[in-house]
Structure 1
Amino acid sequence: MGQREIRACWFGAGVLVGAMAASLCAMRAMARARADVSADLSPEVSPEVSPAALPVEDAARAPSAAPESGADMFEYRGFVVHLFWQALAPARYKAWCDIWEAGAVVQEAGGPPATYPTAAEARMAGGAWARHWIQNNG
């Protein structure tokens, strides 16, 4: 087997292991988010009740629709961006991303050096950071 074929095998194995690790992290984060939501629910609030139908004081205890952590993927100018965000503490989220081109990582775990009050803001900042990186380095 040639040197190039061996590298392709190791690259494929690395991609597979990375995908499995990302899946496990996402599953653990979702399970933790579900446990946190179920612990926050009071007996009179069920997951089927929308927060808009609750009184103001109960709406604050209702489960939120936004996950504590997550991942997204999008393509921009021929690059594929794998975007991740995670809760560090209440009202404190961090985002980072991996940028791929032609099946290889060109920027790993880059992202804005700040934290954000919501998951949506962290996600948007991470995507903007990735677009900026691609425009300047791509």
Structure 2
Amino acid sequence: MKIKSNFLIILTGLTLFSCSEKIDYEAANAYILKSAQEWAEAINEGDSLVIDKIVADDFVGVSLRGDLYDKQTLIRESKMKANQSYKPKVFNVTIRFYGEAAVAQGNETWTKKADSTSTTNIWTDTWIYRDKKWQIVAAQDLKLNP
């Protein structure tokens, strides 16, 4: 009898483990791609709601200056620097999935609305799928031109 109950416990555990949620990578790819542009626009506009949705609470980023920053710093600085005088454009985005993780790499151009001068950055974002949502846990940016 003890063997039967142990077998049932093991079988139940295996069944629960194998019923874990399947990830729709096509939908995830579209979401991450859309979120990359939304994040750039949120930084430009100081939109903390978008940043809060996309960026995980335990996020750590590396700025263009090489400084580490967290989610709260990102929200605070985007509100302080929000001027909407730039037009951000995200392009050349590649997304690779590794189970419940994804690495997104791409470029963004920030064009001044006043005189059309621009700067281009290249970036890498690490996304994690947890609690049924994709969020950025790490990011690094590099300026391509002065």
Assess same fold via TM > 0.5: no
- With normalisation by structure 1, the TM-score equals 0.34
Say which structure is richer in helix. 1
Radius of gyration: which is bigger?
Answer: 2
Which one has the bigger strand percentage?
2
Q: Structure 2 length normalisation: TM-score?
A: 0.33
